[in-house]
């Protein structure tokens, strides 16, 4: 049995991927804390409702082998965008607030830990079902 | 891999802050450097600016030093006829370095450096937790 065939592990993996992507975006914001005209970015929130409706990115149907696919890939689920509501903007046009980014970073880290702990807990449950303790 | 990219981005952030600190140090150490010839221009304060640009090697956008420029503001002028750099009327041009501005700049660089360091720590912890899953 492959672990990833279980929906639960699939979701955990997806969430971990999302948190990793968010961490990268936040690191980028922090690195640009003093860059003129830089607007901080954040990834689109991963919602449970989207999972249920299966909101996959829409692509054009390829009905003929001669059809060429566009060069730009469909926007992925993990999509970063400029933060619309900004806390404050410095005179040079930079709107990164380090404290805000730090809180987001701590949040991403805590959630990541939650995901890894859940993962381990469920592996332990499977082990228990196999009769090897857990 | 996302987290490795994140480490690279933070490292670039730390590098530019280090560069900035170098410029600040240059300005502070030259705060009293007058001209070598009588009536000439003294040390001109240096400025540094950053930009977010694509690093083709990594395939990511990282922060880079845009340019190290010169502060075009006026020099301070002081009456000091005994100074070797004084002009015919006895005035000496002093560098346009303001210690207070340099100190503020230094503090900001330090704060940003620490923030980048923290981002690296977080990415490292996340990586470590992922590796710990196989235990």
The pTM of this model reads: 0.82
- Check: CB of residue A80 under 8 Å from CB of residue A41: yes
Q: Where are the domains of chain A?
A: 7-59+73-129
pLDDT at A56 over 60: no
Mutate to test the interface with A, among B123, B125, B134 (most CBs of A within 10 A): B123
Q: Where are the domains of chain B?
A: 2-132
Min Cα distance B48 → chain A (Å) is 10
- ipTM (interface predicted TM): 0.85
- How confident is residue B75, by pLDDT bands cut at 50, 70 and 90? very high
Contacts of A110 in chain B (CB under 8 A): none
Partners of A82 in the β-ladder: A41
Q: pLDDT tens digits for B106-127?
A: 999 999 999 999 999 999 999 9
- Check: CB of residue B36 under 8 Å from CB of residue B45: no
Under 8 Å CB pairs connecting chains A and B tally to 96
Pick the closest to residue B74 from B100, B48, B45, B99 (CA basis).
Answer: B45
CB contact under 8 A, A105 and B122: yes
**Which pLDDT does position A91 carry in this prediction?**
87
Q: What residue of A is the nearest CA neighbor of B12?
A: A31
pLDDT at A29 over 70: yes
- In this complex, is the C-beta atom of A19 within 8 Å of any C-beta atom belonging to chain B? yes
Contacts of A108 in chain B (CB under 8 A): 122, 126
- Check: CB of residue B83 under 8 Å from CB of residue B34: yes
Helix and strand numbers, DSSP H then E, in chain A: 3, 2
Q: Exposed, middle or buried by CB within 10 Å (0-12, 13-18, 19+), for A93?
A: exposed
Average pLDDT over residues A5-11: 86
Q: pLDDT tens digits for B95-104?
A: 999 999 999 9
CB contact under 8 A, B122 and A109: yes
Query: CA–CA distance from B83 to each of A50, A109, B79, B96 (Å)?
Result: 75, 60, 9, 18
Q: Torsion-angle region of residue B10: left (phi > 0), alpha (psi -120 to 50) or beta? A: alpha
The residue to which tokens 């049995």 are assigned = A1
Pick the closest to residue B5 from B65, B64, B55 (CA basis).
Answer: B55
Q: pLDDT tens digits for B47-59?
A: 999 999 888 888 8
Average pLDDT over residues A11-28: 91
């Amino acid at each position: 049995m492959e672990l990833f065939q279980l929906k639960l592990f699939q979701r955990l993996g997806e969430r971990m991927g999302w948190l990793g992507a968010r961490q990268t975006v936040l690191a980028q914001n922090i690195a640009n804390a003093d860059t003129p005209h830089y607007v901080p970015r954040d990834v689109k929130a991963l919602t449970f409702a989207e999972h249920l409706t299966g909101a996959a990115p829409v692509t054009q149907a390829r009905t003929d082998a001669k059809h060429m696919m566009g060069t730009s890939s469909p926007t992925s689920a993990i999509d970063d965008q400029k933060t619309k509501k900004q806390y404050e903007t410095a005179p040079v046009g930079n709107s990164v607030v380090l404290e805000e980014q730090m809180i987001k970073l701590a949040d991403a880290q805590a959630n990541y830990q939650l995901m890894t702990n859940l993962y381990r807990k469920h592996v332990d449950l499977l082990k228990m079902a196999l009769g090897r303790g857990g | 891999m996302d987290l490795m990219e994140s480490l690279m981005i933070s490292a670039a952030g730390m590098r530019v802050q280090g560069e900035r600190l170098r410029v600040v140090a240059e300005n502070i150490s030259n705060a009293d450097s007058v001209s070598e010839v009588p009536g000439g221009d003294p040390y001109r304060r240096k400025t540094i600016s950053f930009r977010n640009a694509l690093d083709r090697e990594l395939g990511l956008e990282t922060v880079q030093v845009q340019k190290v420029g010169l502060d075009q503001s006026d020099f301070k002028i002081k009456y000091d006829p005994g100074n070797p750099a004084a002009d015919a009327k006895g005035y000496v041009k002093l560098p346009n370095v303001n210690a207070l501005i340099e100190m503020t700049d230094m503090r900001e660089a330090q704060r940003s450096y620490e923030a980048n360091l923290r981002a690296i720590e977080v990415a490292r912890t996340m990586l470590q937790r992922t590796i710990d899953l196989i235990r």
